[in-house]
Structure 1
Amino acid sequence: MSSTVIAVGGHIGDMELTAGPTLAKVVLEGGRAIIVDCTYGERGHPVLAPSVYREQKLREGRHFADSIGAEFVALDYSDGFLPDSEEVAEQIAAIIREAKPDILITHWLHSMHRDHERAAQAALRGAFLASIPIEKIEAERHSVPTILHAENWEDMEGFDADTYFEIPEEAYQRWRTGIDEHAFARGETYGFRFIDYYSALMQVKGCLAGVPRAAAFKSAGTEKFALAGP
């Protein structure tokens, strides 16, 4: 998988957790991985003030990217308040035009979290905007060949995986090194053991794919055209 892959998440930690093993695999195989987190996720700690947790989340995001060899971009939006606007989509489109990814990964469109849904919508809209000519934009337009939705236990309404990537041991270990630094993933915020869950999930999906570990995704279908167009 020597490709360029962009993963767009609602909060710092979302794509790191769900798409992270696949991004680590991409980098190990000579590709480029870019994580775009639309909000800081700073309101997800029961004790720390958002301003304090924001700085921690940024450190965690940078650590994860460094651990797997990815690039890290945090858009300047607040947790719980990601707008449904052209501005977000245009920021993502600019990243797509520059990087020219082979694959775009984002959330599934139905979630218990509004930021997840809006990040997915912005990613699809951004892919559309990146594919069309626009006045006064110097970067060449780019059509993303493959758009995938990551499997996330919080985004499972109507999700049906149809694409699997084998996750080799080294990619898994790099993912563990990075995600172990995320307090929420360790279960220190609200108690859910995210790392255990996704580690086990990779083994379950590996059984279905006939390999030791795999990450599962859903290919974007008609929804990308319904949400991305003018």
Structure 2
Amino acid sequence: MRPRTIMAVGGHIGDMDLAAGPLLAQVVQDGGRAVLVALTPGERGHPRLSIDDYRRQKISEGEAFAAAIGADFHVFDDLSDGFLEPTDDVAGRLARLIRDVRPEMLIAHWKHSIHTDHEHASTVAERARFLAGLPGWAPEHGERHGVAQLLYAENWEDDRGFDADSYVPISEQAFATWHAAISGQAFARGETYGFRYIDYYTAQLTMRGCLARTDRAVALSTGDGSRVTVLD
């Protein structure tokens, strides 16, 4: 991919690390800037650790993952897993971050999910994109910025109605960087509820690579049924 700034917004730490992490690693490898945002820590996802203990662990894991792939990392650690609301207050916070980062591309959750936080995170990302580019909105928080492209990530919990129409090839180096980084997250290793996240997303990269006529690829959706394209 040509150098650019891409921001990926997830409901919890780990969401975009899995679904968009290989793409973010590729962006950095190609000389661009990657920004990873989690709207909550995802602190209620461990069957044995306390909420406070797992919040600290998730934030530490998120910071380590971002550092390993060369991305910037932001988490709204005062918001709570399971209780994310798509309010203008949350969208405004994200919009101010968008104005500061000034990404050309925004990656969000697909809007239909088995997880309410994911659906709300999608709404927040869309609203934040609108506010960040809205003339006259919060001029004290920087010059307005229109994000040129909004794409939705492929997440196994967000597959209802998801139609992949855009593919980004992932190099061996970017894949290896992502794989090593995501292996540092306990839930991705299957240590919380046993789901084999790393195996699933590795297989998905291979499957999408077959469709894109390359070794591995991340699939995204424009949400409008566009013809299939391979992004450079």
Same fold (TM over 0.5): yes
8 Å CA contact 1:147–1:220 kept in 2: the answer is no
8 Å CA contact 1:111–1:157 kept in 2: the answer is yes
Residue aligning to 1:129: 131
8 Å CA contact 2:163–2:223 kept in 1: the answer is no
Aligned equivalent of 1:104, options 82, 106, 119: 106
Residue aligning to 1:151: 154
Residue aligning to 2:121: 119
How many residues align? The count is 222
Superimposed CA distance per residue, residues 33-70 of structure 1 (whole angstroms, 9 cap, x where no aligned partner): 11110011000001001100000000100010000000
1:178 CA displacement: 1.1
Alignment of 1:53-68 (within 5 A): 53-68=54-69
8 Å CA contact 2:96–2:141 kept in 1: the answer is no
Alignment of 1:76-225 (within 5 A): 76-133=78-135, 134-221=137-224
- Give the whole-Å Cα distance in 2 for the aligned partners of 1:104 and 1:155: 17
1:135 CA displacement: 4.5
Identity %: 53
8 Å CA contact 2:95–2:129 kept in 1: the answer is yes
Structure 1 residue 34 corresponds to structure 2 residue 23: no
Residue aligning to 1:228: none
Letter in 2 for 1:95: L
- Give the whole-Å Cα distance in 1 for the aligned partners of 2:224 and 2:209: 24
1:142 CA displacement: 1.0
1:138 CA displacement: 4.6
Letter in 1 for 2:108: T
1:135–1:193 CA distance, 2 compared to 1 (3 A):
closer
Alignment root-mean-square deviation, CA: 1.1
Unaligned runs of 5+ in 2: 226-232
- Give the whole-Å Cα distance in 2 for the aligned partners of 1:178 and 1:121: 28
